Homo-oligomer: A and B are copies of this chain.
Amino acid sequence: MHTEPAPGMPAAPIDFYFDFSSPYSYIASEQIEELGTRVARAIAFHPILLGAVFRISGMRPLTEIPLKGDYSRRDIARSARFAGVAFKMPEVFPISTVQAARACVVLQKLQPELVSGFIHGAFRAYFAEGLDIAKAEALREVLAKCGADVDAVLQATQSAEIKERLKNDVDESIVRGVFGAPYFIVDGEPFWGFDRIPQMERWLTSGPF
């Protein structure tokens, strides 16, 4: 059922689940805010850790699967070109994204106005500029560029509260059925993959189909 928000109530945001090490999440990140503008929905950004999700689903990083791995490297680069998104396959892939995700959670708590810029900066650093954002130096650079107080954010990533908050966010994503990235939920309807954005747009524009 397509439920319209009550008059005066803002429509629910588009929940966008992503991992900073997921190339298709990067492509989606370059499109999702324009979609939000077109359909008058905010974006709720949810950094998750695919490693934790894959332990449940039994899935593996795409590039490690026989046959599919070779194809996926080609498909990722071609899909980026198709979408008009700058892309260079990172030399080290996949990487641990727990520090980047925690930094994102810190900003969501303390400086939400920097979150979108940080997310784009981190994705572009890793997938277009050849920076390994698992390395402290690269992450510092991304944080500085988006205007964050680098030392304060990095210190906060080590607090029990932030670690717990990210862990809870990841656990909650699994409870909501997220098994890969990018993953979107709008008004209870799940969409997996940047290639489902056209379906999601129709859903948001014309209602459920």
Q: Which of A70-78, A91-99, A107-115, A156-164 contacts B (4 or more CB under 8 A)?
A: A70-78
Interface flag for A65 (CB, 8 Å)? yes
Contact with B along A71-87 (1 / 0, CB 8 A): 10011001101100000
**Most interface-central of A57, A59, A65, A67 (chain B CB within 10 A):** A67
Contact among B74, B78, B177 with A71 in the assembled complex (CB-CB below 8 Å): B177
Contacts of A57 in B (CB 8 A): 65-68
A177 touches B56 (CB 8 A): no
User: Which of these binds chain B: A7-15, A42-50, A189-197?
Assistant: A189-197
Docked-complex contact A190 and B74, CB < 8 angstroms: yes
A202 touches B82 (CB 8 A): yes
Could you tell me how many residues of chain A have their Cβ less than 8 Å away from some Cβ of chain B? 30
Interface contact A82-B177, CB-CB below 8 Å: no
A209 interface neighbour in B58, B75, B82, B192, Cβ under 8 Å: B82
Is the CB–CB distance between B71 and A179 below 8 Å? yes
Interface residues of A in 190-208 (CB under 8 A from B): 190, 192-193, 195-196, 198-199, 202
Using CB atoms and an 8 Å cutoff, list the residues of chain A in contact with chain B.
Answer: 56-59, 65-68, 70-71, 74-75, 78-79, 81-82, 174, 177-180, 190, 192-193, 195-196, 198-199, 202, 209
